[in-house]
Structure 1
């Protein structure tokens, strides 16, 4: 095996592990979500808390790499639960602005708190230092992929 093939294999192993972790983590997390709330809906709430209080449906669809129709469906479900509000854009009446509500913030925080039992299991085998060590690598990887998302 040449060096290039070996490096490609390492890269694949990293993505394979991340994919498996995503699947296992998502399944565990989904079991803790309040009745009827989906991971896609939680992800929108989390997006607002992480990156800001407002966005347009199209910006959200682009951020999550889903169709505008799929995002509209997710937003309708969040709106029905009063976790977001949708208002006309004051600068352009054709566009809408989406905002997280206080209830949405509280729901997002409660969802994270529901992960406490899983976190306890992880803490038995992995230290906080173990987690802190991988965060910079994962953030760098995410930023690279985010910057290069359009060519794919």
Structure 2
């Protein structure tokens, strides 16, 4: 919808420019939502937990795995020195521990501790009021269906990188 001068009523409301492919607009919208959600989530983080630190805890718990710093850095698409710093801070907080690999004792794997799981769970719980408000503001949205489609999209894109 445009006004009499052909301008959109809310500049910036569309994710792309007229003529952009719809898939480009969808991915742009996802990126914008991700940035907005990250800032809000970071604001709500309890106990000095950063978004990067939460990301490591969530990643390892979601996979139910222990990984090397290099594997985590690769999965999160950050440089290994940055991930080393993040893991060091999580270790200092007792949220993770480094354990020797069972096949090569020189290799260390990052393992989430019970305190790390509790910190992750507190962070998720802190989002509950905002998520409830979002759900109330979007009646009729099938969030489970959207999650399925977004998961498929993520998995497809992840195989390309």
TM-score (norm 2): 0.83
Alignment of 1:63-142 (within 5 A): 63-127=75-139, 130-142=142-154
Residues 128 and 54 of structure 1, relative CA distance in 2, 3 Å threshold: farther
Higher relative contact order (CA 8 A, sep 6+): 1
Moved over 6 A (4+): none
Q: Per the alignment, in what secondary structure is the counterpart of residue 153 of structure 2?
A: helix
Is it true that 1:20 corresponds to 2:32 in the alignment? yes
- Structure 1 or 2: more helix by fraction: 1
Match of 1:44 among 33, 56, 73: 56
Q: Per the alignment, in what secondary structure is the counterpart of residue 99 of structure 2?
A: strand
Name the Cα RMSD after superposition: 1.7
Q: State the number of aligned residues.
A: 144
Q: Per the alignment, in what secondary structure is the counterpart of residue 55 of structure 1?
A: coil
Query: 2:133 & 2:24 partners in 1: Cα distance?
Result: 27
Bigger radius of gyration = 2
Runs of 5+ consecutive residues of structure 2 not aligned to the other structure: 1-17
Question: For each residue in 1:93-119, what CA deviation from the matched residue of structure 2 results, as whole angstroms up to 9, or x when unmatched?
Answer: 221111000001111011000001211
Query: 2:59 & 2:94 partners in 1: Cα distance?
Result: 17
Query: 1:56 & 1:121 partners in 2: Cα distance?
Result: 38
